[in-house]
Amino acid sequence: MKDHIVISKATIDRLPLYFRTLRLSQEEGIDIISSEELGQRLGVTPEQIRKDLASFGQFGKKGVGYYVRELIGNIGEILGLHYHWNIAVVGIGHLGSALSNYQNFTSLGFNLVALFDASPEVIGKTVNGVVVESIDRMTEIVRDRNIHIGIIAVPAVYAQGVADKLVSAGVAGIWNFAPIKITVPDKIRIVNEDLSVGLSSLSYHLSRSLHEND
């Protein structure tokens, strides 16, 4: 892998798409894939794919294509999936339960090792083989189980407090599903997934299409 090269966010954001598409191709029994075929599956130009991958090294064979299994391993390593990060979900309501049952966590190398909630009705239940613990035990459990990533699926009013607890406990990254901007130290990596923003954006584009057809 090349060092000391600034990689654009757009390139980094495309890597998981390449990874997912390659895995699907592997499931179809495809051993070798060209940048043209990969591009057709993703709606990305072959030139862009080759440029993105060249940012990290030399992959594939000219005139042949990419060896699917090998490239999956290469991109997985670039994405850090080989580290097998331990994760926890905080807030086991409808969304939190759905996230906890997401089977691709395991196949991607993420280990779901803890679930937290504040409700006595939820604490003690088992979701996807993991017992829901009291949020009061978060600091202790995050440290004991070496949890790297915390997933926040609580109502907005509680999100900042949960983030503070996760940071204090020692997580390195947060995946936030609460519909609010939370503040964390610069050293903490955070990704926000606001479902309302995505749906509102989709609604905007659909409404524009309707007006254009009037």
Cβ 19 vs Cβ 68: under 8 Å: no
Specify the CATH number for the domain of residue 73. Answer: 1.10.10.10
**93 annotated ligand binder:** yes
User: Which residue, among 180, 14, 156, has the nearest Cα to 91 in the 3D structure?
Assistant: 156
For 104-149, the pLDDT digits (tens) are 888 888 999 999 999 999 999 999 999 999 999 999 999 999 999 9
- Is 94 marked as binding a ligand? yes
The pLDDT value recorded for residue 129 is 95
Is 170 annotated as contributing to ligand binding? Answer: no
Amino acid (one-letter) located at 193: E
Tokens of 184: 């964390």
Residue 191 has a CB neighbour count (10 Å cut-off) of: 11
- Annotated binding residue 96: yes
Query: 211 lies in a domain?
Result: no
What's the structural domain count of the chain? 2
Is 92 assigned a ligand-binding role in the annotation? yes
Q: Report the pLDDT averaged over residues 31-42.
A: 95
Find the CATH number of the domain harbouring 190.
3.40.50.720
Comparing CA positions, the residue from 14, 22, 16 lying closest to residue 49 is 14
User: SS3 of 58, please?
Assistant: coil
The parent domain of residue 60 ranges over 9-81
pLDDT, residue 108, reads 86
